[in-house]
Amino acid sequence: MPIDYFDILPSHPPPMPLESLASYITRLAQANDIQSMSGLVALLSLEDRIHSSTVGFFVDLPPVSFGALPEVAICSDARLLETTFYHLIRKFNRSPFPQPASRFLAASVAQRLRYCPVCLIEFGDYSLCWRFTMLTGCIYHLCHLLEKCGHCGQMVPLIVWPPKLGICPRCNGDLRTCPTSLLTAIERRYVFERHQELEFLLSSHPCDMQGEKVLQLLGQQLAYLRKTRQESRQDIAQTIKEPLYKLEIVESGDTMRRSGVTLQTYIKYAQYLQTPLFRLVSIGSNDEAVTVWGGEPVTKTSVARILQTYPKAMYRFDSVKAFLEQAIGTPVRYNSNCAEEELLSKVKLAVEHLKLKGSPISQKAVARAACMNEGKLRHYSSARAIIDRAVEEYRARQLEQREEKLINGIREAIHTLKSNGETVTRTSVSREIHVGLKDLKLCPRAWVFLDQLVLAWHGKRTQGEEWELSPCVQEEAYDKKMRQVQQREETLIQQISAAAEELQARDVRVTKEALAGFLKVSIGKLKLYPRVRAHLDQTVKDAKEKQFNRREEGLLIRIELAVQQLEAQGKSVIARSIAELLHIPWNSLKYYPRTWVVVKQILSEQAERGVQSREARLVALVKSSVERLRSSGEPVNYRTVSELTGISVRTLRRRNLLLEIMEETPKNPL
C-alpha cells in the first residue's frame, strides 16, 4: 500500500555509518516526539506482531519485517539492514531470522549499552561495533568503552521509552559527561585490529552470498595455521575452552553439521592462532584463490599478508612479478573483460589443484574447486573439453596405480601358494588377493600378467624347472591383449552406431539403456572401454538433439494450426490460448528457442493488428459522431464527441488521428 505524503516523518535523517538499528530508532522517535513503543509500532504498521516482527528492532538483529519504516523514514531496506547484524550473519551462512541469529551471536554481543562518551558528543549515535564484547575501546578517541552509567553505576538498556539518546534512564545522568580512561599502546593495537575486523564483518561484501564457500576455505585456513604451529585440536580446545567437536566442524567447513558453533568459537580460534578473523574470511571470498597447499590458498592477498605489505607493492619489480605469476599459476590480469578466458583459467587451476591434492576429478569436483556453478560449465565446450581430458588422465592414472598394486599382489599370492604347495590358478590367486575375476578383467595389464604367469607356472612345473616371467614376455602379452581390446572397441563402436540408427528408424528413444539392451550387452561392459564410453555418450547426445529438433518442428506446425483455429473462432491469440489448444503448459513453450521466437513474433503481429483494428473502429465511430453533430447543428468539440461516443476526452486528446478528424470542422474550434 503506498504511503501518503503526510505519513512521512517530518524529521527523517539517514542512519550514520555503522549506527545500530536501536540507535536509529531512538533518534527517529526522539526527533519526531514519539513517546511510546505502541506509538512507534502503530506508525510502522506492525500492528499486533510486536513479539515477532519487532524483536530485531531493539537488539539490532535483522527483523522479520521493517514494516513501514523504509517509507516513513525514506530509507531503503538495504541501508536499514546495514544497521543490523545481517551482513555478519550472511558471511557465516547462517539464517538471518532473529532466533537462529541470536543463538549464533550468543556470548559475542552485549545485551546492554556499551559506549564511548566522546563519540556521543561528536557523532550523537550508538555504534553497532560497541555491541561486541571483544571491542574494548574506541579507535577514534583511544579510550576504553564504558559498560555502566558513570553517575549511578547501573547498566543502560539499548533503547528506553520515552526515547533519550545518551541519557541514563535511572538517574537521568548525561552519559556524554562520564569519565573514561585512555588505552595503552598494546591495547590500542588490539582495539584497532578488532575494530577493523568488525567493520569488515558488519559491512556489505560480495562474500555475503557465498557463505558455504567462505566457511569451507575459512576452515582450511584455520587447519593450515594450526598444523604449521604443530598443535593438535585437543590442546587448542582445552586452551580456548571450547568442545573438540566444534573445532572439527569449523575446520571441515560443514554447513549442515554446525550445531552449537557460534561466532565466539570462530573468534576464539582465530585469536588463538594470532590471525584476524576478517582476513581469513576475505581470503575465503577472494575469487583469485587459485590453488591450495596444505589448506592455504596461494593468492596475491595471502602472500602480501605474510610479507606484511600490499599486493601492488610486490609487482613493482619484474622479477618478483614473474615469480609470483609462476607460483600462483596464472598471469595477473587487472580489469579483464574476457569472461571465457577467466573461466578457462579457473578450470585449469582447479584441475591442477585437484591433481595436487590427489582428489577424484569430475565436473562436479572441478566446479566446486573453482567456486562456480556446475551448470555454468556445461555452456562452454572448451571448459568441458579440458575437464573431459583431465578425467581421462585421472582414470588412466588410477588404472595404472591399481594395475601396479594388483601385479604386486598377484606376485606375492603366487609365491604364497607355491610355498604352501597349493595349485596356482586364476581362481586361487583372486581368492588370495581378495579380488574377483571380473574386477581383474577391468585391469588389462594385471589380467595379462596373471594369465601368462599361471601358464608359465604350469609349463615349468611339468618340466620340473623354476618358473619366472621375463619382462619381454610380459610386454609382448600385453601388446597382444591391447590389440584385442582395440579390435573389440572398433566392433562395439560400429555396433553402437548401427543400433542407434535402427532405434531411430523404429522411433524408439535412443538412450544408453536402449542401446545396451539392443546389443544385449550390459552398460557396465560398454563403459569398460574409454573410446566406446565416449562414443556412447556422443551418440546419445546427438540422438537427443535430433529428437529435440524433430519435436520442435512438429510443435511449430501445431502452433500455426492453433493460430489459424483461434483466428477463425474470433478468439484472442495469446500464449495461454495457444498452449490450451496444444494441451501443454504455456511456460513449456520457452524451452524451445525457435518455437518461442515464432510465438513472440505471432503475438506481436496479433497485438499490432488488434491495435490497428481498434484504431479503425474508433476513427469510424468518431467520424460518424462528427457527421451527426454537423447534421443536427450542434457544436463539434471534444466534450460533445465524448458524450456521443462514450470515449473519454483524455483518450480523444491522446490520439493524433482523432484530433486531425475533429480539426476538419473549422467552424467549431476545439
Residue 60, SS3?
A: coil
Contact 217, 225 (CB under 8 A): no
**Percentage above 90 pLDDT, the chain:** 1
More confident residue, 412 or 51: 412
Nearest to 77 by CA among 90, 94, 62: 62
Whole-number Å distance between alpha carbons of 612 and 657: 12
- pLDDT of amino acid 145: 92
Domain co-membership, 310 together with 373: yes
Contacts 24+ apart (CB under 8 A), 387-390: 387/347, 387/351, 387/361, 387/362, 387/363, 390/351, 390/354, 390/355, 390/361, 390/366
Domain co-membership, 413 together with 489: no
Q: Where are the beta strands (DSSP E) in 96-205?
A: 137-138, 143-144
List % helix, strand, coil for the chain (3-state, nearest 5): 65, 5, 35
Lowest model confidence (mean pLDDT) among 148-157, 161-170, 638-647 = 638-647
Structural domain includes residue 198: no
More confident residue, 315 or 173: 173
More confident residue, 281 or 241: 241
pLDDT in tens, 305-320: 555 556 666 666 666 6
Structural domain includes residue 666: yes
Contact 311, 300 (CB under 8 A): yes
Domain co-membership, 273 together with 362: yes
Mean pLDDT, the chain, rounded, equals 75
Bond before 14 cis per omega within 30 degrees:
no
Structural domain includes residue 644: yes
Domain co-membership, 423 together with 444: yes
Q: Which residues contact 292 (CB under 8 A, 6 or more apart)?
A: 220, 298, 353, 356, 357
Structural domain includes residue 45: yes
Residue with cell 578466458: 341
Contact 297, 305 (CB under 8 A): no
**How many angstroms separate the Cα of 156 from the Cα of each of 112, 122, 222?**
6, 20, 37
Inter-axis angle of helices 211-228 and 244-252, to 10 degrees?
A: 120
Domain co-membership, 586 together with 598: no
Structural domain includes residue 411: yes
pLDDT above 60 (res 285)? no
pLDDT above 60 (res 291)? no
Domain co-membership, 373 together with 519: no
Phi, psi of 287 (to 5 degrees): -70, -10
Residue 583, SS3?
A: coil
Q: Exposed e or buried b for every residue in 49-67, given b needs 16+ CB within 10 A?
A: eeeebbbbbbbbbbbbebb
pLDDT in tens, 592-641: 777 777 877 877 887 777 777 777 787 788 788 878 877 888 877 777 87
Domain co-membership, 601 together with 566: no
- pLDDT of amino acid 668: 46
Structural domain includes residue 599: yes
Contact 603, 574 (CB under 8 A): yes
- pLDDT of amino acid 286: 46
- pLDDT of amino acid 320: 64
Q: How many CB atoms lie within 10 A of CB 393?
A: 13
Whole-number Å distance between alpha carbons of 397 and 390: 10
Contact 265, 241 (CB under 8 A): no
Domain co-membership, 473 together with 486: no
Structural domain includes residue 457: yes
Q: Which residues contact 85 (CB under 8 A, 6 or more apart)?
A: 60, 61, 62, 101, 105, 109, 128, 202
∠ at Cα 262 (258, 263), nearest 5°?
A: 130
Nearest to 242 by CA among 273, 224, 268, 220: 268
Q: Which residues contact 22 (CB under 8 A, 6 or more apart)?
A: 57, 58, 59, 60, 126, 158, 159
pLDDT category of residue 61 using cuts at 50, 70 and 90: confident
CA atoms within 13 A on the CB side of 140: 13
- pLDDT of amino acid 482: 64
Structural domain includes residue 202: no
Domain that holds residue 583: 481-591
pLDDT in tens, 464-513: 444 454 555 555 555 666 676 677 778 888 888 888 888 888 878 888 88
More confident residue, 448 or 86: 86
∠ at Cα 308 (136, 286), nearest 5°?
A: 85
Domain co-membership, 563 together with 645: no
Domain boundary among 458, 480, 502: 480
Domain co-membership, 122 together with 249: no
Nearest to 293 by CA among 329, 240, 322: 329
Domain boundary among 558, 591, 624: 591
Domain boundary among 138, 155, 187: 187
The three grid cell numbers given for residue 1, joined into one nine-digit string: 500500500
The β-bridge relationship of strands 143-144 and 137-138 is: antiparallel
Domain co-membership, 408 together with 441: yes
Give CA torsion, residues 632, 634, 637, 639, to 10 deg: -100
Domain co-membership, 440 together with 327: no
Sign for the pseudo-dihedral over CA of 55, 59, 63, 68: positive
Residue 353, SS3?
A: helix
pLDDT category of residue 194 using cuts at 50, 70 and 90: confident
Q: Please count the structural domains in the chain.
A: 5
- pLDDT of amino acid 295: 39
Nearest to 353 by CA among 335, 367, 332: 367
